[in-house]
Amino acid sequence: GGSAMAAVRDVEIDPEGTFKYILVCLQRPGGGEQRDIVRGTKAAEFHNHIFEKVNPEMEKLGYECKCLGGGKIEHNSKDKKIRVFGLSTGYGKADHSVTVEILKKEYTDYEITWSDDKK
pLDDT tens-digit map of 47-104: 999 999 999 999 999 999 999 999 999 999 999 999 999 999 999 999 999 999 999 9
Any known ligand binding at 118?
no
53 contacts: CB under 8 Å, gap ≥ 6: 39, 44
Percent of the chain with pLDDT over 90: 85
Would you state the CATH architecture of domain 11-115?
Answer: 3-Layer(bba) Sandwich (3.50)
CA distance 112 to 89: 23
**Catalytic positions, please?**
47
* Positive or negative: CA dihedral 98, 99, 105, 108: negative
What digits encode the pLDDT tens for the residues 30-43? 877 889 999 999 99
Summarize the confidence of residues 9-36 as an average pLDDT. 94
